[in-house]
Amino acid sequence: MDLLTALRTHRIVAIVRGDDADAALRTVLTLAEEHFPLIEVSLSGKDTLDVIRRARAALGSGAPLGAGNVLTAQHAQAVRDAGADFVVTPAVCEAVTEAKRLGLPVLAGVMTPSDIVAAQRLGADAFKIFPAAQAGGPGYLKALHGPFPDAPFVPAGGVDADAASTYLAHGATAVGVGSPLIGDAADGGSLDALRERVRAFRDAVCASASADPTR
């Protein structure tokens, strides 16, 4: 898949992480039904590889499906075999190199300029600023755009709907959103409530198009 084009088009990566594999699968399918197509299933959840396999079978081969918290070469191989077609890492690690070797695009976790340069050298397709809130929020994103004006940044970590709108207005290519969007859906919570949160984040993307980043 063309990860960078998908990030620029959809602007939000939903991060699904839960202790109930069946609920996590239902969450993935609900997000897809709500036309929220960029979905990452985190390896920190329960039975993640099975969730990815079942989601791939249900969604078909054309739907973007990622695996998150991928750290090792073995992780990269396992998620590829399960049906993931992009990889998200929390750091610059061996999974970046292995995923690229396997032909999978990578959203690599970075924090510092040194991390960004290292991830660029390994061939990462985009850069997840993580944890974004602790790194300094939109101000830090703006600062990174100075030395890296063309780098596709995806802030993640503590990104609610308001923060998503602000990051996008300040030049983020996309944002990664976990619990503020997913809530308890991946642990068996209400899918109707998930649908309401999806609408709130969709509104945030629309609002970012007209927001003034200087405010």
Residue 93 burial (C-beta neighbours within 10 Å; 0-12, 13-18, 19+): buried
Q: Does the annotation count 40 as an active-site position?
A: yes
**Rg, the chain, Cα only:** 16
pTM for this prediction: 0.95
> Backbone phi, then psi, for 81, in 5-degree steps?
-65, -30
pLDDT tens digits, 31-48? 999 999 899 999 999 999
pLDDT tens digits, 149-187? 999 999 999 999 999 999 999 999 999 999 999 999 999
Residue 182 burial (C-beta neighbours within 10 Å; 0-12, 13-18, 19+): buried
Q: Of 46, 128, 142, 196, which is the active-site residue?
A: 128
Q: Of 34, 40, 94, 98, which is the active-site residue?
A: 40
Tell me if 13 sits within 8 A of 154, measured CB to CB: yes
Q: Does the annotation count 34 as an active-site position?
A: no
- What domains are there in the chain, each with its CATH number? 3-208 (3.20.20.70)
